[in-house]
Structure 1
Amino acid sequence: MARRAVEQELSRERIMDAARHLFITKGYRGISMRSIGQHLGYSHGSLYYHFKEKAELFYAIVVQDFNHLARMCEQVTKRPPMDGLTRLEQLMLDFIKFGLENPYQYEIMFMLRDEEILSYCKVEQAKCFDMFEKIVRGFLAEEKYPLEQNSSLPLSMFLGIHGFISFYIQDRLTFEDIRPAAIAHVKMLSQSSYRMTS
């Protein structure tokens, strides 16, 4: 009965939200299950009802965040873009928006450099890029652009938007703060890609 009460009160989601913030602000090595529990006002034993160890908790966060990004990218393929944007530009813009609106998630997904945890991210990063590449190739095929002439184009575009996010994320600017710059950036990347494939 006591265990059920703790599980209802302290949800997986609440633990993951707190841990995500702590992993970014204090580093993976700098926190423990005990410190996460203290942050939440619970004993660290309460966390073990949901996660066996810190590594399992971290990986659950990584998978959840990449799944969120994947759903967002899939939605772009199913709806018309905003006025004045191509579907490819909309994909890149929404990716930038995700990064700036979810800075803690994005930093864990793409910017942490701790060797101990890099392996957790690498697999999910590879899946994310494969999905991004597939969508980019699909959009370019619809427009009859011969992508085989430049097979590195999806990676170049991915790195272009990642660099943009990495530059602005450190100032904790919102997407709305830099929307005009983001639109100009994705249009530049898009026009460059079309020149490279023509």
Structure 2
Amino acid sequence: MARRAVEQELSRERILEAARHLFVTKGYRAISMRSIGQHLGYSHGSLYYHFKEKAELFYAIVMEDFDHLCQLLNQVKDMPEQGETSKVERLLLEFIRFGLNNAHQYEIMFMIRDEELLSYCRAEQARCFEVFASIVRGNMDLNEHSLEAMHTVPLSLFLSILGFISYYIQDRVTYEEVEAAANAHVKTLCRVL
């Protein structure tokens, strides 16, 4: 084992990816640090070099995934207007693309049901929603929308996109496989804008 550790160091990224897969496929409670180590072919003690406990490992996964999604959303915000697709439509499509093409991450981020873990996810979901909502509000015309709409429209769009992803994620399809449906859904949603 020592030789193996020298030949191929167990990286934080490898641990995060293996743990993410195991948490989604087997459930958080069914997975131990020992089982993650076994999955990777290392002793569980080698994991403690990177993470003190399983909860810290889970939180690192959640933070990494939400940081990545928020980065994607901010990239859309910073893009110049182009063609017939509005910035809000691109935002919604990018969110759908992320969810369907990163099913394991999305399930941990938005579909986890474990009460103990929801507290980790809820704060990050709220942070993600605020990025999303600020982009939507920034593209709404104040002369055409009430103050109430400035609050309700972003939430309605967000929840609708989560529902779309949750529906299609069950079939393990990629974004490309449902791109036409995603475009139609987003066009319908954005009529309110």
CA RMSD of aligned residues (A): 1.7
Q: State whether residues 22 and 31 of structure 1, in contact with CA within 8 Å, keep that contact through their aligned partners in structure 2.
A: yes
TM-score w.r.t. length of structure 1 = 0.90
Any runs of at least 4 consecutive aligned residues in structure 1 with deviations exceeding 4 A, and if so which?
A: 5-8
Partners of 1:110 and 1:22 in 2: CA distance: 16
Residue by residue, what CA displacement relative to the aligned partner does 1:141-168 show, whole Å, maximum 9, x if unpaired?
4x85425141211000000100000000
Any stretches of 5+ residues in structure 1 without a counterpart? none
Identity of aligned residues (%): 63
Partner of 1:163: 163
Q: Specify every segment of 5 or more residues in structure 2 that has no aligned partner in the other structure, as ranges.
A: none
Change over 3 Å in CA distance of 1:6–1:62 after alignment to 2: farther
Q: Deviations over 1:149-196 (max 9, x none)?
A: 4121100000010000000001000100000100000110000x22xx
Letter in 1 for 2:21: H
Count of residue correspondences:
189
SS at match of 1:130: helix
Whether the aligned pair in 2 keeps the contact of 1:88 and 1:136 (CA below 8 Å) is: yes
Partner of 1:125: 125
What is the distance in 1 between the residues matched to 2:161 and 2:81? 18
Deviations 1:70-127 (A, max 9, x none): 0000000111356321100000000000000100000000001011111111111111
Q: Could you tell me whether the CA contact under 8 Å between 1:88 and 1:190 is conserved in 2?
A: yes
- Assess, with a 3 A threshold, how the Cα gap between structure 1 residues 8 and 52 changes in structure 2: closer, same or farther: farther
CA distance, structure 1, for counterparts of residue 144 and residue 87 of structure 2: 14
TM-score (norm: length of structure 2)? 0.93
* 1:101 maps to 2:101: yes
